[in-house]
Amino acid sequence: MASHSPQIYIPILLLSLLITTTTTALQPQINSNSVLVALLDSRYTELSELIEKALLLQTLEQTLTQHNLTIFAPNNQALNHNLDPEFKQFLLQPRNLKSLQNLLLFHIVPSRIHSSHWPAKHKTLCNNNNQFLSLTSTSSNDIFVGRVKVTRPDDITRPDGLIHGIERFLIPRSVQEDFNSRRSLRSISAVLPEGAPEVDPRTNRLKKPAQVPVGAPPVLPVYDALAPGPSLAPAPAPGPGGPRHHFDGESQVKDFIQTLLHYGGYNEMADILVNLTSLASEMGRLVSEGYVITVLAPNDEAMAKLTTDQLSEPGAPEQIMYYHIIPEYQTEESMYNSVRRFGKVNYDTLRLPHKVVAEEADGSVKFGKGEGSAYLFDPDIYTDGRISVQGIDGVLFPVEEEESKVVKKVPTTGVSKVVAKPRRGKLMEVTCSLLGPFTHLSTCH
């Protein structure tokens, strides 16, 4: 067995040498005098780096085995100063590799073209739509490739090709169209995708405003978006435009308050929204964050019937107003259609957990029950798609409070007690007295 081992080893060694020699012979050999090597060691190093990033070195090496190459090369200074930064960024993005390859191959012609060969027309290595380069000259002996001037004709000459220096890049139409398409798509993207919104577990509020497309429902339920509780101290108004710049809730609230004043008969409602700034600010913030609301606005006659007892509790004016705000967008038509179809409809209010019941009555919509009910009196005073204001002829209270009221009977005596009708402005007097320790209001006298 030992005598046969050298005879087996020698053929194996010869076979391995043959495979190595064949593999080496199949690879294109580029000598040190090649035009590609000259490109790496010249004033065109920026272009050579782009060719390497575009993964074109192997393609060009294979082309040199069959053809000479003529390269129209902008120098480093031209690339740094004459190229649009946005376009350069576009070329360097990995997804745009094909555009970068087409751009570079558009500068290379698979034949040997001296400056004495102008004018002519040659096909480039760019296979996209059979791209051609037109070589022209002027009477002053200036030569151009396309519309770009050749600044250094026959700058580098090698046995397998040559390099002409040009003043700037040649941009083929296909690459320009790709760039314009990408730029248009980026400008069309109104909302950039971001991560899921973070919610603070202590307050159940968003840590950062969520990026929500216009018209989409907000991330949090409206009750989670409300402040922890009503406060008598004025709160700062939100900044213009809201956190996502989609809705300007502050301006919309001011607009509907101004509409109430011009409409007439709702001055009390407008005054309380102006002076209880925490309420107006809360409404504006909700609208800015994408929520919609319907305000059931009691008219002046209804507001004037409020008593001191009903307003004496801390935060009572705001609690009354919260019960008149529905976190939906409803118009007279939508509410009337609902009560006609379903008989009774329970609407949520911003005063948890109380709801306001609505039903059809006398061809209109009636809210509440019994003596504490109110009719839809002035429909659609203000509707802008985010805020709807519906005028009613009474002040609403939750059913539980109505049932818990104790009616005090006046003792019957020989003299009848005359009770004066509360004058308009009673609500504002009580409200100002409650706000006195916290803030100075110029509107209170």
Per-residue pLDDT tens digits for 370-407: 888 999 999 999 998 889 999 999 999 987 655 555 44
Is residue 141 a contact partner of residue 129, using CB atoms and an 8 Å limit? no
Give the separation between CA 359 and CA 337, rounded to whole angstroms. Answer: 10
Span 216-220, average pLDDT = 70
Of the two residues 314 and 209, the one the predictor is more confident about is 314
Report the pLDDT value the prediction gives residue 299, as an integer from 0 to 100: 94
CB neighbours of residue 225 within 10 Å? 19
Q: What beta strand segments (E) does 280-363 contain? A: 293-298, 325-326, 344-348, 355-361
Reported pTM: 0.43
The per-residue pLDDT of the chain, averaged, comes to 75
What is the CB neighbour count within 10 angstroms for residue 53?
15
Query: How confident is the model at residue 379, as a pLDDT?
Result: 93
Q: At what angle do helices 57-64 and 45-53 cross, to 10 degrees?
A: 100
Q: For residues 97 and 55, is the Cβ–Cβ distance under 8 A? A: yes
Q: Which residue has the tokens 């609301």?
A: 293
What is the pLDDT at residue 62? Answer: 85
The CA distance from 71 to 126, in Å, is 13
State the Cα torsion 385-387-392-397 to the nearest 10°.
130
